[in-house]
């Protein structure tokens, strides 16, 4: 069945699929939202396809109704309205359908036009985690924010003023994360306190103070007090966020050096190639981890600007991990040493992945209808698997990187593409389920 979709499989592509199936040890289960989306059957499928799988990441989403933290509310989201059903057991924390966030619909009277799937109820999350543990898998948990606005904006755009941070954190963000610390105590092995909140971590207060980063340090301590010392805790920084921010500051170094943070989490979607109408090979992708954009140069508009210092190479994570960090205070016009201690924490790719589309490795971070740089929009299954293989090989060869979680295997189970509105996106999306093996006809 998959062979019809994937087409005739070349020897090279088969070798790449075999390598990935054998060496993949950590995967994220999507889509992160959707009531009833955590199918136990998907666990059986992923274990069969990836025999050496050790880690499974589970994102669970709550929803924020504004990009402005001065007025934003964070709540679990409900697909259905309370007046549309008679009896229901959907519960998340203290929320039922009466007081949860009602996810927006294009047509308020048509449930099929809903903007997102709803938050998975606590009972469903626990059942899925328990099933993974029964299979001997270690579980990483990602509390995830979705922006419920017309553009379905990226959570990295959420921002505000320094004066607004404390109230937003205390009343909105902290309760969201702490709910899952209590719910999953004794059940997970890794816990993220957030991901890709770039618009919040760069908010600067007085002097060199970044209030939301300070809040994350406090949150890590609170989560630690609940989940215990054996659970690994971190934050999943966007690839453009982990290093520094505008002005030359390094706000996340305060978090990375915190005693309750076990590793540096990076959602690694950096460009690995920069080509137009050239064949992309396994070797050229691997070379991209230590060359081209982010290493040799960066783009200012369409002009290449040469990078001539290691500390400015945002791809050089080995140098970053093993060196003292100096930041630049643009207000005082002086440099200063941060609290980071060289080689003190390993790096984990909290996410990495590629779409199965032409030129995907040029810009791995583009989703939906957007095309990678120089892409003609054609489906390319071999490139996706080749890029994943290149990443797995790079991880195994880089002593700074502990492991990497590949995004994404769909938790809705075999045949989900035929039952959900986003199924048509599978062929060119980041999904790897159904693309690593020839599935038997069911």
| Domains, the chain, ordered by start | 2-428 (3.20.20.80)
Helix (H, G, I), strand (E, B) or coil at 305: strand
Strands 326-329 and 334-337: antiparallel
User: Which are the contacts of 44, defined by CB distance < 8 A and separation ≥ 6?
Assistant: none
Residues 35-70: tens digit of each pLDDT: 999 999 999 999 999 999 999 999 999 999 999 999
Residues 227-280: tens digit of each pLDDT: 999 999 999 999 999 999 989 999 999 999 999 999 999 999 999 999 998 899
The rounded percent of the chain whose pLDDT value lies above 90 is: 89
- Under the banding of pLDDT at 50, 70 and 90, the label for residue 218 is very high
Please give the pLDDT value at position 2: 46
Residues 327-365: tens digit of each pLDDT: 999 999 999 999 999 999 999 999 999 999 999 999 999
Residues 378-424: tens digit of each pLDDT: 999 999 999 999 999 999 999 999 999 999 999 999 999 999 999 99
| Residues 1, 86 contacting (CB under 8 angstroms) | no
Residues 130-142: tens digit of each pLDDT: 999 999 999 999 9
Please give the pLDDT value at position 83: 81
Helix (H, G, I), strand (E, B) or coil at 177: helix
Helix (H, G, I), strand (E, B) or coil at 141: strand
- Under the banding of pLDDT at 50, 70 and 90, the label for residue 3 is very low
92 vs 88 pLDDT, higher one? 92
User: Which are the contacts of 92, defined by CB distance < 8 A and separation ≥ 6?
Assistant: 62, 76, 100, 119, 120, 121, 122, 179
Please give the pLDDT value at position 159: 98
What residues form DSSP beta bridges with 95?
92
* Helices marked H in 185-246: 198-201, 211-227
Residues 89-129: tens digit of each pLDDT: 899 999 999 999 999 999 888 888 999 999 999 999 999 99
Reply yes or no on whether the pLDDT at 224 is more than 60.
Answer: yes
Reply yes or no on whether the pLDDT at 376 is more than 90.
Answer: yes
Candidates 430, 441, 410, 439; CA nearest to 58 is 410
Tokens of 329: 């205070």
Mean pLDDT of 77-84: 88
Tokens of 101: 């966030």
Reply yes or no on whether the pLDDT at 439 is more than 80.
Answer: no
Reply yes or no on whether the pLDDT at 441 is more than 70.
Answer: no
Reply yes or no on whether the pLDDT at 166 is more than 80.
Answer: yes
What is the pTM (predicted TM-score) of this model? 0.96
Distance (Å) of CA 187 to CA 58, 228, 239: 12, 11, 29
Does 432 sit behind a cis peptide bond, omega within 30 degrees of 0 on the bond before it?
no
Q: How far separated are the first and last CA of the chain, in Å rounded?
A: 9
Tokens of 183: 């719910």
Q: Look up residue 92 and give its DSSP letter.
A: B
Please give the pLDDT value at position 5: 64
Mean pLDDT of all residues belonging to the chain:
94
| Residues 265, 224 contacting (CB under 8 angstroms) | no
């Amino acid at each position: 069945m998959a062979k019809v979709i994937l087409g005739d499989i070349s020897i090279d592509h088969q070798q790449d699929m075999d390598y990935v199936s054998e060496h993949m040890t950590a995967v994220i289960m999507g889509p992160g939202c959707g009531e009833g989306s955590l199918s136990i059957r998907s666990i059986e499928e992923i274990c069969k396809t990836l025999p050496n799988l050790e880690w499974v990441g589970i994102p669970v989403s709550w929803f924020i109704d504004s990009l402005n933290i001065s007025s934003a509310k964070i709540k679990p989201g409900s697909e259905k309205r309370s007046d549309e059903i008679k009896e229901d057991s959907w519960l998340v924390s203290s929320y039922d359908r009466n007081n949860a966030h009602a996810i927006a619909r294009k047509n308020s009277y048509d449930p099929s036009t809903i903007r997102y799937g709803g938050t998975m109820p606590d009972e469903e999350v626990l059942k899925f985690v328990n099933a993974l543990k029964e299979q001997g898998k270690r579980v990483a948990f990602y509390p995830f924010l979705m922006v419920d606005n017309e553009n379905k904006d990226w959570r990295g755009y959420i921002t505000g003023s320094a004066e607004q941070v404390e109230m937003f954190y205390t009343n909105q963000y902290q309760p969201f994360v702490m709910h899952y610390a209590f719910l999953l105590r004794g059940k997970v092995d890794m816990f993220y306190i957030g991901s890709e909140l770039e618009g919040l971590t760069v908010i600067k207060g007085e002097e060199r103070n970044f209030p939301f980063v300070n809040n994350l340090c406090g949150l890590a301590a609170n989560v630690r007090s609940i989940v215990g010392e054996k659970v690994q805790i971190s934050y999943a920084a966007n690839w453009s966020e982990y290093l520094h921010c505008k002005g030359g500051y390094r706000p996340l170094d305060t978090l990375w050096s915190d005693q309750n943070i076990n590793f540096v989490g990076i959602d690694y979607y950096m460009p690995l190639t920069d080509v137009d109408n050239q064949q992309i090979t396994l070797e050229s992708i691997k070379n991209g981890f230590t060359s081209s954009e982010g290493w040799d140069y960066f783009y200012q508009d369409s002009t290449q600007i040469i990078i001539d210092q290691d500390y400015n190479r945002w791809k050089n994570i080995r140098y970053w991990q093993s060196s003292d960090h100096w930041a630049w205070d643009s207000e005082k016009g002086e440099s200063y040493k941060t609290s980071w201690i060289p080689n003190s924490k390993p790096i984990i790719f909290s996410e990495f992945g590629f779409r199965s589309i032409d030129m995907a490795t040029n810009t791995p971070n583009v989703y939906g209808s957007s095309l990678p740089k120089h892409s003609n929009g054609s489906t390319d299954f071999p490139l996706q698997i080749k890029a994943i293989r290149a990443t797995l090989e790079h991880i195994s060869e880089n002593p700074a990187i502990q492991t990497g979680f590949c995004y994404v295997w769909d938790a809705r189970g075999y045949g989900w593409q035929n039952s959900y509105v986003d199924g048509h996106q599978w062929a060119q999306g980041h999904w790897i389920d159904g693309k690593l093996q020839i599935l038997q006809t069911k």
